[in-house]
Amino acid sequence: MTATGVVWDPVYLEHVTDEGHPDHPRRLQPLYQLLQDPLVNCRFTTIVPPAATDEEILRVHSPSYLNQVKATATRAASALSADTLTCDRSFTVAALAAGGTIEAVRRVVAGSLSHALVLARPPGHHAERSRAMGYCIFNNVAIGSMAARTAMGLARVMVVDWDLHHGNGTQHMFERDPSVFFFSSHQSPHYPGTGHFTDTGQGPGEGTTMNIPLKRGCGNGEFVAIYQRLLAPVARAFKPQLILVSAGFDIHAADPLGGMKVTPAGFAGLTRLILDIARQTCAGRVVFCLEGGYHPDALADSALAMIDELTGRTSTDVDAMAASADMARLNTVVTRCVHTHRRFWKELDDQFPN
């Protein structure tokens, strides 16, 4: 058994947008060239993506929206929203992105793989139940989470989102569902304007949404320290049976849409920290899914750093990385989050900065 699976396929380049659009096929081309290197792809199992079925998509999206997306297959170029462009292959490719996520989840839950990385497009975390937005067509992580819950029998799933932008679609789909914990760190103020500290879930799901809005300029140390101090204790208390990660590479220092300072080493550190949390809570079962990341070379370098960490080629010292954090910036965020969430999670009481 190869412990790590990677979903990647040239079909994901067939979702074609305008030449100047950030989610253009070119953003994956340098990464896919790296993945073809025998010295790289011998270290993981390639997962060939099946298409998600209508039934699987309809677990999170409305029938009218599914039909709207299907209708794009009759037009060479169209748009589902002002920023979500399509071609006649977009429905097929989006169904394969969702299906690749489900297949990765299925193999990890079944134990044939320890963990997986889904390098598909279009991304998904902005897609709402009945509308596209933010380049996203189907909400891949939400679809994978619901497959785990309804088709694979898991009682609790955690979704972690480190994309530059808040995953509004994922939050809204699960904010009333206590079986899915949604944790998001994101630049604020920034698109799409959601994801406030005070958004903690609704009704029976209150307490299972945790948002960490961050000012621009956070780097490796701040991200890893925030995840150590806020995500780790809550994850241990929630006890997920699977973790899915919306892995956005637009927090990279070179990304044209962002203002963060994460490097490939930082993505390796975040990966190691999530792997450690998964080992403590859910037998190591974790699936990372590509979201944003619009500097092609930065995306390729960072994804390769994640693959190195997943396959054991590297093992990042996350404590040393966290020790480099700007403590004033870190303590402001931790204090605000703990004050908001301590009524739900007593485990956070130990995280007050000294």
For the chain, list the domains and their CATH numbers. Answer: 4-351 (3.40.800.20)
Angle between helices 90-110 and 63-71 (to 10 degrees): 130
pLDDT at 353 over 60: no
Q: Which residues neighbour 177 within 8 Å (Cβ) at sequence distance 6 or greater?
A: 204, 205, 208
**Mean pLDDT calculated for residue range 136-150:** 98
**Across all residues in the chain, what is the average pLDDT?**
97
pLDDT at 253 over 80: yes
Total-model pTM: 0.97
Compute CA distances 297 → 78, 95, 139, whole Å: 28, 26, 25
- Neighbouring-strand partners of residue 86: 78
Alpha-carbon span 15 to 261, nearest angstrom = 29
- Split at pLDDT 50, 70, 90, the class of 349 is confident
How many CB atoms are located within 10 Å of the residue 95 CB? 24
Q: Which two tokens stand for residue 326?
A: 């700007």
pLDDT at 141 over 50: yes
Alpha-carbon span 105 to 286, nearest angstrom = 8
pLDDT at 35 over 90: yes
**Mean pLDDT calculated for residue range 316-334:** 97
Give the model's pLDDT for residue 351. 72
Handedness of CA 149, 153, 155, 160 (dihedral sign): negative
Give the model's pLDDT for residue 1. 43
pLDDT at 49 over 60: yes
- Split at pLDDT 50, 70, 90, the class of 280 is very high
Give the model's pLDDT for residue 63. 98
The catalytic residues are 126
Q: Is the peptide bond before 192 cis (omega within 30 degrees of 0)?
A: yes
Give the model's pLDDT for residue 214. 98
Runs of H (alpha helix) within 151-257: 168-174, 220-226, 232-238
Give the model's pLDDT for residue 352. 63
pLDDT at 354 over 90: no
H or E element at residue 245: strand 242-247
- In this structure, are residues 23 and 294 in contact, taking their beta carbons and an 8 Å threshold? yes
Alpha-carbon span 146 to 159, nearest angstrom = 11
**Which amino acid, residue 174?**
F
Alpha-carbon span 118 to 120, nearest angstrom = 6
Q: Which two tokens stand for residue 189?
A: 């103020």
**Which amino acid, residue 204?**
P
